[in-house]
Amino acid sequence: MNEAIRKLEPTAMWNNFTDLNAVPRPSKKEERVIQFISDFGKKLNLPTTVDEVGNVIIKKPATKGMEDRVTVVLQSHLDMVHQKNAATNFDFNTQGIEMLVDGDWVKANGTTLGADNGIGVASIMALLESTDIPHPALEALFTIDEETGMTGALALKGGLLDGGIMLNLDTEDDNELTIGCAGGVDVTANGKYTQESPKHNNAFKITVKGLTGGHSGMDIHKGRGNANKIMNRLLFNLSKDLQIEISSIDGGSLRNAIPRESVSLITVAEENKEKLKKQVQQFETVLKGEHSTTDPKLAITIEDSETPSHVFSKDFQYRLIRSIYACPFGIYRMSPDIAGLVQTSNNVSRVFIKDGSYQVQCLTRSSVDSEKTDLQSAITASFELLGAEITTAGSYPGWTPKPSSPIVKLMSDLYKERYKTEAKVSACHAGLECGILGTNYPDMQMISFGPNITGAHSPDEKVQISSVQKYWGFLLETLVRIPKK
> Backbone phi, then psi, for 272, in 5-degree steps?
-110, 5
What mean pLDDT do residues 369-385 have?
Answer: 95
Predicted confidence at residue 58, as pLDDT, reads 98
pLDDT given for residue 253 in this prediction? 80
Question: Which residue among 79, 139, 176, 371 is the active-site one?
Answer: 79
- Residues 50, 152: Cα–Cα separation, whole Å: 11
Q: pLDDT tens digit string along 25-43? A: 998 999 999 999 999 999 9
pLDDT at 85: 80
- Tell me, which fold does domain 3-181+399-480 have in CATH? Aminopeptidase (3.40.630)
- Tens of pLDDT, residue by residue over 120-136, are 999 999 999 999 999 99
Domain residue limits, the chain: 3-181+399-480, 184-396
Q: pLDDT tens across 223-275, in order?
A: 999 999 999 999 999 999 899 999 999 999 877 778 999 999 999 999 999 99
Out of 146, 174, 284, 461, pick the active-site residue. 146
pLDDT band (50, 70, 90) for residue 146: confident
Q: Is 241 a catalytic residue?
A: no
pTM: 0.72
In the CATH scheme, what architecture does the domain 184-396 have? 2-Layer Sandwich (3.30)
Least confident among 37-41, 149-153, 322-326, 460-464: 149-153
Question: Is 51 marked active-site?
Answer: no
Q: What is the pLDDT of residues 411-435, one digit of tens each?
A: 999 999 999 999 999 888 877 899 8
